[in-house]
Structure 1
């Protein structure tokens, strides 16, 4: 571990910062557009790319690139939902997603409105379906952005800042303790476990709005 971590950090730092930042933004764009996020691990790319950050300026640039990439990707999903959403839903890939997941996304948006857009960024499957679902609804693009932008910013800031903290801790301790690599890995693992726990908590708290079939399904959309 103490050999692998220094190698990984140096390798990521050897990549041109601009190229590394743009790659992370592109990865998130792909992850958040249409249904690619169901199979493409954009958050993993952001985490790995952030390992190479060497200054606050690079960190800020990474957050901006990731947020912009996420917003472009979700905007593509929204636009496709507005123009050809029903066709995507009826397509082969739409059927592979499962009709029950489309229904859950529609129900969640109908019951929670903007809150559903915000929280879907942190929920499996829904983070790819909700932009399309919102595009097929009466929601305006401006209202969609108003809810999804803060979620994207929170998500990007968390991944970039925690990874930068782990790398900074390693840099400070590498010459002092022999287990600095394990500290780096420990910080990343704890963060990922917290992310997983947070998703489970959100899913549990929102379960009623996602899965219940009572009369609330026809409730008015909340702002």
Structure 2
């Protein structure tokens, strides 16, 4: 296990830090703007890049790059929604996402306003659709950015920190413990399991805002939280 893991980590770390950070940032920009996250989750990108961090400065630089790229990607998604939202929704990609997903995203934004933008970063599928849906909704860009920025910062900080600590712990113990590789895998697995549980709990708590009103069958109007975020 140690030999295989060392080879993998060394292969990633052998890439020049600037190039590695640039690739991770580019992947995150695409992940948050053009629905690439529906195919290649940003979680994978952040963990692989974070495992190659060799110093606190590299870790901070990587996290900042991912945050900036995420914000740029979500801004692109917002702009696409503002200027070409209906066309995207009718496109092949929009149809593949599914009308049900678009409706849920719109409903969530109407009912929750700003908190929907923050929380969607941690919800499967919705985090790739919400920026475009927000752009179509008329929610102002300034308020959109105010809600998505802390979510992106929290997300990036968690993933980079955990993967960097796990890899650093492995490198420190690999020459002394034969089970160091299992320790690395265990830390990552435990973290990802916690992420899955947290997402399920969050989805369960937010389900009533995502699903249709079964009694009336009608969509509610804009709530107070949504109304305060609308407009330019």
**Normalising by the residue count of structure 2, what TM-score does the alignment of the two structures yield?**
0.93
- Does residue 220 (structure 1) correspond to residue 212 (structure 2)? The answer is no
Structure 2, gaps ≥5 residues long: none
Q: Deviations over 1:125-184 (max 9, x none)?
A: 110110001101121111000000000000000100000110121122112211101101
CA contact (8 A) 2:51 2:163 kept: yes
Contact kept in structure 1, 2:104 and 2:211, CA below 8 Å: yes
Native 8 Å contact 2:24 2:49 kept in 1: yes
1:72 CA drift (Å): 0.7
Shift of 1:36: 2.3
Which residue matches 1:106?
106
SS at match of 2:201: helix
Partner of 1:100, secondary structure, is: helix
Instruction: Give the TM-score normalised by the residue count of structure 1.
Output: 0.96
Shift of 1:216: 6.2
Describe the superposition over 1:20-72 as per-residue Cα deviations: whole angstroms up to 9, x where unpaired.
01111111101000322211222201111111100000000000110011011
Residues 65-80 of structure 1: pairs in structure 2 closer than 5 A: 65-80=65-80
**1-side partners of 2:73 and 2:177: how far apart?**
43
For residues 107-126 of structure 1, give each alpha carbon's deviation from its aligned partner in whole angstroms, at most 9, with x where no partner exists.
00000000000000011111
Separation in 1 of the partners of 2:139 and 2:41? 28
Work out whether residues 82 and 136 of structure 1, in 8 Å CA contact, stay in contact via their aligned partners in 2.
yes
Structure 2 CA distance for partners of 1:26 and 1:221, relative to 1, 3 Å: farther
After TM superposition, list the pairs within 5 Å mapping 1:103-182 onto structure 2: 103-182=103-182
Q: Is the 8 A contact 2:82 2:138 kept in 1?
A: no
